[in-house]
């Protein structure tokens, strides 16, 4: 690999020799981004879809005064606020207080980096649902979510999901959400115009695989190579084809693990003998979680799961243990408490049914994902060292090639309306 880097450095092409100065903000490479969702009320989302349906029924059947209290009004939403429908969702647009309509089917979302939860997809209940994200959320889409943190933090700079993410951050400022495609159907990549062509020209060759330079492979590179910073993710772009290929291969594996095998990938599985199993049944309402390092066992109340690698237990994002955070939210929901564990007031307490079997399956899968992600530490460190050694394609070369600066239109959502969208009170939105 070193010989290939030396050859690339001597070939011209404008590679910048000071690696850290040559990092490119992800904001320049994936220019369209959307702010995180803001629900305005905790009860519209959670780990249990059955509880969400029960909350809806309680709210819809309440008298006017009780409905106002349970709704938890904000400046953006009250039971009387007229709003447009969420794109692609059948929920009504009549004012909730007048005609709630039937409960919409809860949709799967990603709450933070590794927590798959559920959301009631009704625009009347959500302060800022970001309709532009819903318009492009389909079977071909991936979403990258940035994690704002200091460079010395051990956590990843960004995560990727095939689900609609809410952009929640377990610690620090919520991250921007960057769809891979600007239009439904996997069309028009959300990449700086000309970036794919530049990478293909600089790093491609006669033996290059046909899919070596696609929007998804570039996303895989970002996932493998991005570095965290307080202002957003920074991306080193290699000037060497061998480094590029290694990073893309690593990124594809990270993409498969983080998306749980979505879009045709294989679901994560640990090798035989290392797969976690329930050794003692989990109680109906476990209140405590701990780890037995000697036995490699996760203690869930009176329940027990093993083997659980220490790396999965210690896996953090933003300085917060992922397993502890995931468990805490479900332990609170099982006991009818709020997401932060506080005594619930209102709809947060509605629908608690203990610890359903689905959560145990999800916990086993999360342990698997975290263990396999930790297994990529070696390749990630090798890639980091190769990039630090350079050379890199930096902002200067991107400007010379006309890739930067990106046009203002690339930072705005594309017009994707293939049909009329229903506005407030049954009106049709003119967009």
Checking 304-309 for CB contacts under 8 A at 24+ apart, the result is 304/278, 304/279, 304/280, 305/276, 305/277, 305/278, 305/279, 305/363, 305/364, 305/367, 306/276, 306/277, 306/279, 307/274, 307/275, 307/276, 308/276, 308/367, 308/371, 309/274, 309/371, 309/374
Averaged pLDDT, 172-190? 90
Structural contact between residues 17 and 9, judged by C-beta atoms closer than 8 angstroms = yes
Helical residues (DSSP H) of 90-188, grouped into ranges: 131-136
Distance CA 62, CA 307 (A): 47
Q: Is the model's pLDDT at 8 over the cut of 80?
A: no
Q: Is the model's pLDDT at 285 over the cut of 80?
A: yes
Averaged pLDDT, 159-169? 93
Going by C-alpha positions, the residue among 58, 62, 165, 159 that lies closest to residue 119 is 165
Q: Is the model's pLDDT at 6 over the cut of 60?
A: no
Provide the pLDDT confidence category of residue 11 given band limits of 50, 70 and 90: very low
At residue 152, the pLDDT reads 54
- Relative to beta strand 277-280, strand 107-110 is unpaired
* DSSP helix/strand/coil, 277: strand
Least confident of 86-90, 163-167, 379-383: 86-90
Averaged pLDDT, 76-85? 94
Structural contact between residues 403 and 195, judged by C-beta atoms closer than 8 angstroms = yes
**Residue that wins the pLDDT comparison between 294 and 85:** 294
Averaged pLDDT, 317-327? 90
Q: Is the model's pLDDT at 217 over the cut of 60?
A: yes
Provide the pLDDT confidence category of residue 17 given band limits of 50, 70 and 90: very low
At residue 181, the pLDDT reads 98
Going by C-alpha positions, the residue among 85, 122, 95 that lies closest to residue 107 is 122
At residue 341, the pLDDT reads 66
CB proximity list for 35: less than 8 A, separation 6 or greater? 128, 130, 167, 174, 176, 177
Structural contact between residues 181 and 188, judged by C-beta atoms closer than 8 angstroms = yes
Averaged pLDDT, 129-135? 96
Q: What is the largest CA-CA distance in the chain?
A: 76
Q: pLDDT tens for residues 361-373?
A: 999 999 999 999 9
Q: Is the model's pLDDT at 296 over the cut of 80?
A: yes
Q: Is the model's pLDDT at 142 over the cut of 90?
A: yes
Going by C-alpha positions, the residue among 356, 296, 367, 286 that lies closest to residue 328 is 286
Structural contact between residues 321 and 334, judged by C-beta atoms closer than 8 angstroms = no
**Residue that wins the pLDDT comparison between 427 and 269:** 269
- Structural tokens at position 310: 């220490």
Q: Is the model's pLDDT at 84 over the cut of 80?
A: yes
């Amino acid at each position: 690999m070193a010989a290939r880097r030396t050859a690339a450095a001597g070939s011209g092409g404008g590679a910048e020799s000071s690696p850290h100065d040559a990092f490119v903000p992800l904001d320049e490479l994936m220019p369209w981004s959307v702010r995180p969702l803001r629900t305005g009320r905790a009860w519209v989302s959670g780990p249990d879809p059955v509880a969400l349906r029960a909350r809806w029924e309680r709210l819809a059947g309440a008298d006017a005064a009780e409905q106002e209290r349970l709704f938890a009004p904000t400046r953006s939403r009250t039971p009387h606020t007229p709003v447009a429908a969420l794109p692609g969702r059948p929920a009504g647009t009549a004012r909730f207080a007048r005609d709630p309509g039937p409960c919409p089917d809860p949709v799967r979302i990603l709450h933070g980096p590794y927590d798959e939860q559920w959301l009631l997809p009704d625009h009347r209940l959500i302060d800022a649902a970001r309709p532009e994200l819903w318009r492009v959320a389909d079977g071909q889409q991936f979403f990258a979510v940035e994690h704002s943190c200091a460079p010395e933090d051990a956590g990843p700079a960004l995560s990727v999901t095939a689900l609609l993410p809410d952009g929640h951050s377990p610690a620090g400022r919520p991250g921007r959400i960057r769809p891979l495609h600007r239009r439904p159907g996997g069309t028009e990549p959300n990449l700086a115009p000309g970036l794919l062509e530049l990478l293909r020209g600089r790093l491609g060759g006669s033996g290059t695989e046909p899919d070596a330079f696609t929007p998804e492979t570039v996303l895989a590179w970002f996932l493998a190579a991005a570095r965290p910073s307080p202002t957003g993710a920074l991306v080193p772009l290699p000037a060497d084809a061998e480094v590029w290929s290694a990073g893309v291969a690593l990124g594809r594996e990270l993409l498969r693990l983080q998306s749980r095998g979505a879009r045709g990938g294989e679901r994560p599985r640990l090798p035989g003998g290392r797969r976690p199993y329930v050794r003692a049944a989990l109680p109906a309402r476990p209140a405590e979680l701990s780890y037995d390092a000697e036995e490699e066992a996760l203690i869930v109340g009176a329940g027990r799961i093993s083997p659980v690698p220490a790396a999965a237990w210690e896996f953090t994002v933003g300085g917060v243990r992922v397993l502890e955070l995931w468990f805490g939210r479900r332990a609170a929901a099982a006991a009818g408490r709020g997401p932060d564990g506080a005594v619930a007031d209102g709809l947060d307490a509605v629908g608690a049914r203990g610890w359903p079997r689905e959560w145990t399956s999800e916990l086993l899968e999360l342990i698997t994902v975290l263990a396999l992600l930790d297994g990529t530490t070696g390749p990630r460190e090798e890639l980091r060292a190769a990039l630090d050694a350079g050379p890199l394609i930096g902002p200067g070369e991107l400007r010379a090639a006309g890739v930067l600066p990106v046009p203002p239109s690339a930072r705005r959502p594309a017009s994707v309306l293939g049909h009329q969208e229903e506005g407030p009170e049954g009106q049709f939105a003119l967009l």
